[in-house]
Amino acid sequence: NKIYLNNEFSDKQKEATLIHEVLHGIERMYSIDSLDEYTVTRLGNALYTVLIDNNLEIVKKEREVKR
């Protein structure tokens, strides 16, 4: 599965969206049916805040191209 992020979003919006979508993935993977969109949004915002407040960065590692 892939998560596509809108290039028009700011970096902060992309990071928050990534966390939100990862939470949806966890929800599906572990058959957690009790999470509504409001709860996923709140959890995503909380997790994003923890990461930012603790200077933890979300970075995308570029894949090394083998020749």
Q: Express each pLDDT in 17-44 by its tens digit.
A: 999 999 999 999 999 988 999 999 999 9
Domain definitions of the chain by residue range: 11-53
pLDDT at 28 (0 to 100): 93
Q: Does 63 score more than 80 pLDDT?
A: no
pLDDT at 22 (0 to 100): 95
Two structure tokens written together for 52: 């930012």
* Alpha-helix residue ranges (DSSP H) falling in the chain: 11-29, 37-53
Q: Does 51 score more than 90 pLDDT?
A: yes
Task: In whole angstroms, give the CA distance from residue 57 to residue 13.
Answer: 14
